[in-house]
Amino acid sequence: MDAQRWMWTAWPAFLAAAVMEMVVFAFVDPLDVHWLGSPLEWSRSAIYTVAFFAFWLVMLLCSAMTRMLARSIQDLNGGVVSEPLAD
């Protein structure tokens, strides 16, 4: 994947992760976050950072899947369209 196509995927994912971070932590205090039943003993900054990268990864996967599903015939097989098989 060339750099321009990579940025078409990564930049919207970055922006969506930033918005998601703001929305989630507008309602959730990072010090109240629990993992597997026990509270995390991390600082607020560490929780913000890990959450942002987790959100970015999820959004990156969503953007990559959207780009994958939006590919044209030319992207998939060089524009070669096969004829249906005769019965």
pLDDT per position as a tens digit, 38-55: 888 899 899 999 999 999
Query: At residue 38, what are phi and psi to the nearest 5 degrees?
Result: -120, 145
Helix intervals (H) in the chain: 3-27, 44-69, 73-77
Q: Which amino acid is at 26?
A: A
Task: Quote the distance between the C-alpha of residue 29 and its chain's center.
Answer: 23
Cα 17 from Cα 53, distance rounded (Å): 8
Percent of the chain with pLDDT over 90: 41
pLDDT surpasses 70 at 29: yes
Cα 8 from Cα 16, distance rounded (Å): 13
List the end-to-end C-alpha distance of the chain, in Å, as a whole number: 39
pLDDT surpasses 70 at 37: yes
pLDDT surpasses 60 at 1: no
Average pLDDT, the chain: 86
Which residue, 84, 76, 65, 79, is CA-closest to 9? 65
